[in-house]
Amino acid sequence: MITNKHATRISVCNRMNIFSKPKSSQGHVEIIFSFVIFISFLSFLLIAFNPFKTTGNTEAYLNLAQTQIEKLITKEVSLLTLNIDSSVSGCGYFDYGYTGDENIITKNSSGYLFASNHIPQTGKYRINVNFPPQTTPPTTFYYIYFSKDFLENYNPSSCEELLAPDLGLLRTYSVVSFKEMNGTFSKNYTRDYINLKKQIGIPETKDFSLTFYDLTRTSIKELGTPPEKAIIYAREIPVQFMYETGEFKYGFMQIKIW
């Protein structure tokens, strides 16, 4: 038998249990509310400071810098193939319907350089090549390159006309001009860096350096050095270098922005 005293105690306990249950639910609500506040604060930080913005902008700067630098230091070189009779030796010439004002260099398939020059004619080139005495097997296939960068050092006293030379199609492609890279561009980097940056599209708050390597990773030319503690964004592009002597080399151009 339960007395009134006991009943009152049980009633009080029941009321305490009823009011104690919402504390657990309230705790969950507080956790969820705190989580929402945290996510909102984190979103605010991402929007306000955007840690990915620098990377995106710098990638755009690299794209623009690569395009503009290539415009400044690359030149077009044209290639004409020539196949002749195996009995030809000494200076021979042929006329070619080419109206450019570039100098020429002549090589065989092994890359050996032969003395050659051009004489501008009306609407054509007269090309002179000093063909070597023929060996076994004979050398009959040649490459003739056209570029303003080349130096011609051949002045023959007389040449014989080549009969029915076999000429290929003229092909044109872009290469990095060592003359331009080592000359005008390097001077502008050293003496007129601010204007060069504007021309390339790099903002005032950024700096850049440029390094050229050959395939052995030997430096050909270095322009600028990044600070040791700077955050550096870099890009490396395979290129082909062209020298005034007619030599061609493969390598890399590395752009750094910080």
Per-residue pLDDT reduced to its tens digit, 129-176: 998 887 667 778 999 999 999 999 898 888 999 988 999 999 999 999
**20 burial type by CB count under 10 A (0-12 exposed, 13-18 middle, 19+ buried):** exposed
Percent of the residues in the chain that have a pLDDT greater than 70, as a whole number: 78
Percent of the residues in the chain that have a pLDDT greater than 90, as a whole number: 59
Nearest to 150 by CA among 100, 189, 191: 100
| 219 close to 213: Cβ distance less than 8 angstroms | yes
pLDDT of residue 45: 47
Structure letter (DSSP) for residue 149 = T
89 pLDDT tier (thresholds 50, 70, 90): confident
53: amino acid identity, one letter: K
Token pair recorded at residue 180: 């331009």
pTM above 0.75, yes or no: no
198 pLDDT tier (thresholds 50, 70, 90): very high
Kindly provide the b/e burial profile for residues 151-177, where b requires at least 16 CB atoms within 10 angstroms of the residue's own CB: eeebeeeebeebeebeeeeeeeeebbb
> Alpha-carbon dihedral of residues 144, 150, 151, 156, nearest 10 degrees?
20
Axis-axis angle for helices 53-73, 193-200 (nearest 10): 100
**104 burial type by CB count under 10 A (0-12 exposed, 13-18 middle, 19+ buried):** buried
pLDDT of residue 57: 78
Separation of alpha carbons 84 and 126, rounded Å: 16
90 alpha-carbon distance from chain centroid: 42
236 pLDDT tier (thresholds 50, 70, 90): very high
| 136 close to 107: Cβ distance less than 8 angstroms | no
Token pair recorded at residue 201: 């599209």
Question: Angle at CA 76, nearest 5°, toward 70 and 257?
Answer: 10
